[in-house]
Amino acid sequence: MEIVTKIISQVWVFAAQMAPLLLFGYFLAGVLHVVLPSRWIYKTLSGGNIGAVFKSALFGVPLPVCSCGVIPLAAHLKKNGASDGATVSFLVSTPTTGVDSIFATYSLLGPVFAVARPLIAFISGVLSGTLVNLFVPKRSARNSAEGTPKGEECNVCDNPMPHSHTLFEKFSAMIKYGFFELVEDTSKWLVVGFFAGGIITLLLPKGAVASYLAKPFVAYPLVLAIAIPMYVCATGSIPIAAALIAKGMAPGAALVFLIAGPATNTATISFVAGKLGGKVLVIYLAVILMTAFAFGMLLDTIFADFDFTKAVLAGGEMFPSWVRNGAAALLFALILNVFVRKTLKKREPEPETKTGAVVIKVPDMSCKHCVLKIENAITNALGQVKVSVDLKSKMVRVEGTAEVEKIKDAITNAGYTPEILA
């Protein structure tokens, strides 16, 4: 019981250090969501030249999208005329960092890591996209009306028809996205990261970490072997890296984990291989691995005499304790709200199956953001229908009077791949 209490206490320490800047990052993410319409992003990033690759990486760095949520966005980019290079640039740069994780990185790991992560994400994105454009044969781009959203999609209500919103409606949309939708997408991995960091801090012997993970040529391959297949979001990886650094792991190895972990996982690897091909996958993985390894070595070389264990947790000290604790309480309240709503939803009775219901599998639906986007796309396209989405089984049920092809088109236009089952 004493150990559990200490772990919970350490979890609170991590949360209190990250919460003020993390909440601010969530708010900025909400601002970006409303200010930058997705349709405009698609138009801006479409193209097959170095400019499109550069812009894809530049836009990808601040966007608060995790490595599962980036897949439908990348698919939509590709469908609307983006080259393989621009698509890969976006895939590499986007999940590695974002406005929320930049602030959270500073709060736990200090300014060096906070600057290094977005810089490496941008360089990796540009490098991978450029290599793909140079060495992979160009394929015809699908830049036709097929699969292209009609009108200018609204990020406040997803209504494609011309309209406007009040300042209050826009602010409400910012809060909803930043503090509810984005928290729901990251809450699971934040909790995992907090507890993993707490367990490492209290139970993992410092000598064991220092004996092995302090040596770059041992730590880097080991971290890569763990980071590549697993899913960990850019924010949830931070407390784990902080705890390992405090125990003696080479800072460069922590940087490798922070880059390779969010940028790669089995779902993204499968998407790249299936949609873009084996050659693109090789370039995609090689660039991530080489840049993570190279910048990790560079960090360990330049800051060989710098004690990163003192820098860990130093960023959050810029706020008084009452601000840190209050922000942590608010953060956990938002996370608790997510788990309570999920629990209540599971207890709701299953909707009655109606004659003529269309059941669709959407295999590339992977997060709450995907669910909302698909629901809104179908409702806006078809009007009075009942849409039920089960994220766990990746099934979408549409009940009402609607043509199957129109349902497929709505899901496809949202950036996903529908498979009709019934």
What are the pLDDT digits (tens) for 238-293? 888 888 888 888 899 999 999 988 888 776 787 788 778 889 999 999 999 999 99
- Spatial CA neighbour of 136 closest among 351, 284, 269: 284
> Look-up: residue for tokens 């899913």?
231
Are 141 and 81 within 8 A, CB to CB?
Answer: yes
Q: Which amino acid does the sequence have at 20?
A: P
- Predicted confidence at residue 130, as pLDDT, reads 93
- Predicted confidence at residue 391, as pLDDT, reads 79
Distance CA 408, CA 419 (A): 8
Distance CA 381, CA 279 (A): 37
Question: C-alpha angle 305/308/313, rounded to 5°?
Answer: 160
- Chain mean position to CA 126: 19
- Predicted confidence at residue 149, as pLDDT, reads 43
Enumerate the H helices of 61-166 as residue ranges.
70-79, 84-96, 99-109, 111-135
- Reading the block at residue 217, the tokens are 């040529």
Q: Is 386 helix (H, G, I), strand (E, B) or coil?
A: strand
Residue 80, classified by CB atoms within 10 Å of its CB into exposed (0-12), middle (13-18) or buried (19+), is buried
- Predicted confidence at residue 297, as pLDDT, reads 92
- Predicted confidence at residue 346, as pLDDT, reads 67
Q: How many residues does the chain have?
A: 422
* E strand or H helix that includes residue 361: strand 358-361
Indicate the pTM of the whole model.
0.69
> Look-up: residue for tokens 């498979």?
419
- Spatial CA neighbour of 181 closest among 411, 54, 338: 338
- Predicted confidence at residue 150, as pLDDT, reads 43
In the chain, CATH 3.30.70.100 sits at 358-420
For the domain bounded by 358-420, which CATH number is listed?
3.30.70.100
- Spatial CA neighbour of 118 closest among 100, 140, 143, 145: 100
Low-confidence ranges of the chain (pLDDT < 50): 140-151, 351-355
Distance CA 106, CA 21 (A): 8
Distance CA 416, CA 32 (A): 22
> Given the DSSP bridges, would you call strands 419-420 and 386-390 parallel, antiparallel or unpaired?
unpaired
Q: Sign of dihedral through CA atoms 147, 150, 151, 153?
A: negative
